[in-house]
Amino acid sequence: MDADPLDGSAAPSWPGRSEGDPRPGATPPAAAAGPASGGTGDVERLRRLLGTEPLAWLVERVRRRMAQGQPLAGVVTLPKATHEQRRAVERLLGRRAGSGYSLSVSLDEVDRMLRHSGAAPDGLAAAVTLLTGPVDETVTAAAAEAAAWAAARAPLEGLVDRRPELAPWLAWLDGTGLLRRLAGDPAAAGALAGPLVAVLDGLPSPGVALGRLATTLAGDAHALDDGRPLATLALAGARVLAGSGPAGGGSAAERRATWAAVGVHLDELSSTVLCLGLPGGPGSAAGRLLAVAHEAGEPCVLTLRQVTGRGGERADPGVGAGPVFVCENPAVLATAADELGRAAPPLVCVNGQPSAAVLGLLDALAAGGARLAYHGDFDWRGLRIANGLRDRVPWEPWRFDAAAYEEALDAVGGGPLSGHPVDASWDPALRPALERRAVRLAEELVLPALLADLAAAGRGVASA
């Protein structure tokens, strides 16, 4: 029952009603158009039946229901009805309207009366439209728009159902309204959703150029260029897949590192890897570069182009089945170069999130049988990097487990640990240890122990 406390003391102001016109049933301009205003009917009879001032409250109730997309059925009630309002309802329906504090009218009864009398053969809605002009169905339109947005978003929900690790990304999109802001309307959002799902479903990649990924999955080589809507949305998902938050830092270096972390490189020259002590060999250009650097005891920077070689031919690192140490931070490698020089054993630096060049070189080393040993920062980001790397290539911890963490904390101090906890796939005891001690331990703080290991390994390599 509609019991809105509209007492009918003031005439409503629907579109086209003459403001300040005291005459009951004053003709609104919209009604002058007759049937062209919507539906068919006898406008003059409708003015006499429904267009009087005592029935203005009823017409307004009907308009409100039409605007809200509600059915014109059931009973509407007017509290504090006046004698004139009761008499008007009696004249409209041809029966007594009852007595009491409130006045109730059946919309179904009014609709039947209007249809059968011929005043409005199309019913109550058409009658109100003829009298007062078209109704703006705002709620109906809003519901239709909401349904359109939901349909546009549905492919993203399907993606998250298949890959639950992307749930934080979709929650962030919903919370920030980023998809709506970038797309502008549901049709554009739907057009974005298909390529977006295809791109994220293809990550992480075994190693592909960004332009080729865009061409293959989005049909446009520039669809993933910086600033394009698809790139912004996909990059947020890539960050989550790489173990970070969806927002990111916004710098070009951060974007490049994010793509690299999921196996996508911007080009073959901007992606690089820093290494030391790799013997190299004559079988490839990169192998010869490594050999020269090794002879000089100097670090070597290889591009992705040099790592993969022309035609996809891999570099020749010259290690074979020997040991290779892998560190997270360049300071470790730089110090090893300074202190050990030519005596340094093979060492590769991932430099934060591994780039495509880093992954390519480690793939080549692993394919040759090298035994990788990894060390990184004792913090949540360090664990995420290590987990991602372990998903790509096999490695054993190098002073990078719970026992090493506890031992290091007894000798050096660290900083406060912050961020979202994550398990260490290689040592289930490491996460509880970090949570219990709540201390972040950067790789540089244990540099003396790492250098001692590298020196011992270098002597072993030299004597072999």
Residue 23: what pLDDT? 35
Residue 24: what pLDDT? 36
Residue 260: what pLDDT? 79
Indicate the pLDDT class of residue 21, thresholds 50, 70 and 90: very low
Indicate the pLDDT class of residue 30, thresholds 50, 70 and 90: very low
Mean per-residue pLDDT, 326-336: 97
Instruction: In whole angstroms, give the CA distance from residue 66 to residue 228.
Output: 41
Indicate the pLDDT class of residue 7, thresholds 50, 70 and 90: very low
Residue 322: what pLDDT? 94
Indicate the pLDDT class of residue 313, thresholds 50, 70 and 90: low
Pairing of strands 323-327, 272-276: unpaired
Residue 31: what pLDDT? 38
CATH architecture of 272-463: 3-Layer(aba) Sandwich (3.40)
Q: What is the pLDDT of residues 188-241, one digit of tens each?
A: 999 999 999 999 998 888 778 888 888 988 888 888 988 899 999 999 999 998
The amino acid present at 199, given as its one-letter code, is V
Number of alpha carbons in the 13 Å side-chain half-sphere of residue 247: 5
Indicate the pLDDT class of residue 140, thresholds 50, 70 and 90: low
The answer to whether the pTM exceeds 0.85 is no
**Burial class, 199, CB count within 10 angstroms (exposed 0-12 / middle 13-18 / buried 19+):** buried
Q: Is the pLDDT of residue 464 over 80?
A: no
Show Cβ contacts of residue 55 under 8 Å, excluding neighbours closer than 6 positions. Answer: 49, 85, 88, 89, 92
Residue 22: what pLDDT? 34
Indicate the pLDDT class of residue 138, thresholds 50, 70 and 90: low
